[in-house]
Structure 1
Amino acid sequence: MPERISCFVMSGGVGSRLWPLSREDNPKQFHDLAGHGSMLVNTVRRLKARPAGDTPVHVIASERHSERVRADLAGIDLAGGHAIFEPVGRNTAAAVAVAALETIATHGDGLVLVVPSDHEISTEEQFWNTVEKGVPAAEAGRLVVFGIPPDSPETGYGYIESVWKGNVRDVARFVEKPGLEMAKAYVASGTFFWNAGIFLFRAGAMRAAFREHQAAIWQKTECAFAAAATEVSGTYLPIEQYSTIPSASIDYAIMEHASGIAMVPASFYWSDLGSWQSLLDISPTDGNGNVVIGDVVAIDCERSYLRSQGRLLSVIGLRDVAIVSTADATFVGPVAKSQEVKRIVEQLEKSGRLETKFTPAHARVLQPGAWRERVAHWLFEETLP
């Protein structure tokens, strides 16, 4: 009988590289970007498709999205799992610590699989075949990551350098998003893989890694978890304790420091759908290589991502350009620079613009008092350490 794997979906991100479609109140994971349901629902269904073995599925999400999470997951059997809501975002290290703590509390030193909520993966069968290859290493106490064989010098992904050891490789080092020339060298070497952000481990092994490398994150997360309130709708972490957790990514906090990490090369197609370029690559196109969504008239355009939510968008003579128009904002730029949308979001936030936080549809239904309360809540979060 295959060992139980407790699965945790990290759904606290904003997806700012897909602005203006993705915003803080309606982020990327709740959108249907690949044409077959929301990214969150597709991720949960992929985890539930494990051929054999007990596989409870949990979702770690922002409390501000609790209603949306409950609506998306309505009618889906989580096999004993449930939603866990963060009052504020503290990055992926805290989320992974919560996953380990929940597993220890429920199943002891069991296997844990942590995945992002907003990635496109080719097939459930290939996904689970890859994960199961990492189970022996995880059972032996190693932290296991999954690498994507790169097919281009992508500068928007982190990389993993590995040493050949058969199906399971040793990780030599993690590398943050490189420049173009370095990315080309990585792809040519054959020893570098894209970091898929998927982790498999024993709960006790991750606890030991936190205690060695990030004791403060573990201790503060442990305190918050102990004070959490569990209701029928999910577990709610308390803001008083959770807001004190240092904010860090799991890669920076643990993976770049831990020893003996194993990597399994993925056999599935993968995309983080983190840019308009990635959506252009995976979406159905017209005869000229354009992705056209919504009320769009395109003449003499090639290899462009053209999307309108509402008003007519008419374009002519464009090549390799992304145009995304919503009710209150429009993005225009070369597809090759779509990874840099975050710079626009950062500039808007510095200017105090709310277009990065609220969609017009959500803003219209807020009563004046509720609007002020929501804005005050966001401003409070942004002052946290």
Structure 2
Amino acid sequence: MSLVPLILCGGSGSRLWPLSRAAYPKQFLALTGEASLLQQTIARIPAGAAAPIVVTNAEHRFMVAEQCRAIACQPAHVVLEPVARNTAPAIAAGALLALQADPDAVLLVLASDHVIQNPDAFHHCIEQALPAAHSGKLVTFGIVPDAPHTGYGYIQRGAASPDGLHAIQRFIEKPDAARAQAMLDAGGHFWNSGMFLFRADAFLAELGRLQPQMLAQIQAAVAGAERDLDFTRLAPAAFAACPSDSIDYAVMEHTQLGEVVAADIGWSDIGSWSALADILERDANGNALLGDVLQQDSHDCLVHANHRLVAAVGVQDLVIVETADAVLVAHKDQAQSVKKIVEHLQAAGRSECSTHRKVYRPWGSYEGIDAGGRFQVKRIEVKPGASLSLQMHYHRAEHWIVVRGTARVTCGEQVSLLSENQSTYIPLGTTHRLENPGKLMLELIEVQSGAYLGEDDIVRFEDSYGRH
């Protein structure tokens, strides 16, 4: 009977804008150390567990693969959802895949963007909950609250179970401050962590009883799944026809098999900048300072500088976050409202809601440096051994200048090698490819010129990553 970690790697993390964005959300960010939140999640998987199953979307697939590779983790599956359908369908797909390898598989369902400061205590909770999971119970991890937090849902425990856990009396939506304080004072209430432990077959049986249409669609999506490089693509039509619902609404609020284990593990879902500030190291004035930051007579602030010096003078209880193309200044009490700024950006059609200036691709990255009416300048990095697609542009020409490393350039019928300080010109309408044949990172400056410079002006003829 194997323990199979199932890591849910979706979501946009919009409350941590401008650092977290739709194309590079918070689970891929190193917010509390050198490792990203996804990598930290993988690192705290208990020893002896099976290779994890990671559920994500097609846009993030190469970031998942790269971050797993960087910590020498080879997932059993990286499952690609064609559309977002919330947590219940994602968990069901992972459960079906886990059963293909082990009919007695026990799933440990984890979010990819949480922080657990005491992993040993977390492992103890897993051990405590395993007997109940083996017996067919659906166990959730209830976080022992230390404050009347209004940003979390709550779980009220019921009677003690023979296995040492507690039945679930009810789930409670995010409360107002007075109700949160009352629950904290009364005891017997936990924050809803969104982490679970159960047999894969037990969960699917309850899902089939409570949500038969959802289970049928997920079964069809998994049966029709296709392998694409190292990824498992769920059948698009079947998955898109699946109802969208969370595991709480679809199963946990209705099942009689639910139990809760009390987890005092230093947990946070980092749902806002103020939540991040609470777990970061602070100076004598209570400031959490990251990057090139100077403060003078400032107190209880979070200042995060990414690209330049940020100075904070005589301010208090502020969140200040600087990126290459945006700066956020917010009072800590309003940190949950940052999502509204993202909604305004989306409504205005602005790219700052979804992408950074630096955009990651499976072959490396590119970063916008400057742009005008008929030109734009980018800094491009290509990983050793990687190559861009064989492609052509209808509306722009390109100039490439090698800054570091060696480039193999295909331009029409000609293939050439360029070293540092050499350059080449790619005429409009010419088939071309850029490759890094070396063992060091290739860095170059690209100057594009033409009537239209959008990223959708790409016709791909060959691509190592299955893109079209």
Per the TM superposition, whether the score is higher than 0.5 is yes
Distance 1:44 1:199 in 2: 16
Structure 1 distance, partners of 2:114, 2:51, is 20
Secondary structure of 1:74's counterpart equals helix
Describe the SS at the equivalent of 1:285. Answer: coil
Give the letter aligned to residue 203 of structure 1: A
Corresponding residue number in structure 2 for 1:370: 455
When you count helix as a share of all residues, which structure comes out higher? 1
Contact 2:5 2:49 in 1 (8 A): no
Superposed, 1:179-198 pairs within 5 Å as: 179-198=176-195
Matches within 5 A, 1:69-148: 69-74=64-69, 76=71, 78=73, 81-148=76-143
CA 1:313–1:77: 2 relative to 1, 3 Å: closer
- Superposed CA RMSD: 2.0
**Partner Cα distance (2:121, 2:159) in 1:** 21
C-alpha distance in 1 between matches for 2:323 and 2:63: 20
Q: Secondary structure at the match of 1:193?
A: strand
Is the partner of 2:55 in helix, strand or coil?
Answer: strand
What's the CA shift for 1:28?
Answer: 0.3
User: For residues 326 and 236 of structure 2, what CA distance do their matches in structure 1 show?
Assistant: 32
Q: Distance between the aligned counterparts of 1:249 and 1:348, measured in 2?
A: 27
CA distance in 1, matches of 2:457, 2:150: 39
Does the 8 Å contact 2:213/2:242 carry over to 1? Answer: yes
Letter in 2 for 1:42: Q
Q: What secondary structure does 1:274 align onto?
A: coil
2:2 corresponding residue in structure 1: 4
8 Å contact from structure 1 (residues 58, 78) kept in 2: no
TM-score by length of 1: 0.90
**Distance in 1 of aligned mates of 2:11 and 2:269:** 12
The corresponding residue for 1:18 is 16
Question: Which residue pairs with 2:252 in the alignment?
Answer: 255
**What does the per-residue CA deviation read over 1:244-294, in whole Å, with 9 as the maximum and x for residues that have no partner?**
222222112221222231000013111111111111111111111101112
Instruction: Look up the match of 1:208.
Output: 205
**Pair 1:329 & 2:329 matched:** no
Relative CO higher for 1 or 2, CA cutoff 8 Å, sep ≥ 6? 1
- Structure 1: how far apart are the matches of 2:456 and 2:38? 27
- Residue type matched to 2:118 in 1? T
Give how far 1:212 is off: 1.9
Contact persistence 2:217–2:242 (CA under 8 A): yes
- CA drift of 1:42 comes to 0.9
Secondary structure of 1:12 counterpart: coil
Distance 1:192 1:126 in 2: 19
- Which segment is superposed worse, 231-240 or 123-132? 231-240
Q: How far did residue 80 of structure 1 move?
A: 6.6
How many angstroms does 1:307 deviate by? Answer: 1.1
Q: Which runs of 4+ in 1 moved over 4 A?
A: 75-80
Of 138, 146, 150, the match for 2:145: 150
Unaligned runs of 5+ in 1: 374-385
Flag the structure with larger Rg: 2
Please identify, of 153-162 and 248-257, the stretch whose mean Cα deviation from structure 2 is larger. 248-257
| Alignment partner, residue 311 of structure 1 | 308
Paired residue type of 1:110 = A
Give me the whole-angstrom Cα distance separating, in 2, the residues matched to 1:108 and 1:78: 23
Question: Is the strand fraction higher in 1 or 2?
Answer: 2
Change (3 A) 1:76 1:36: closer
Counterpart of 1:30 in structure 2 is: 28
Which residue does 1:42 correspond to in 2? 40
Question: Structure 1 residues 180-189 or 294-303, which shifts more?
Answer: 294-303
Question: Within 2, Cα distance between the matches of 1:61 and 1:248?
Answer: 16
Q: Distance in 2 between matches of 1:178 and 1:360?
A: 38
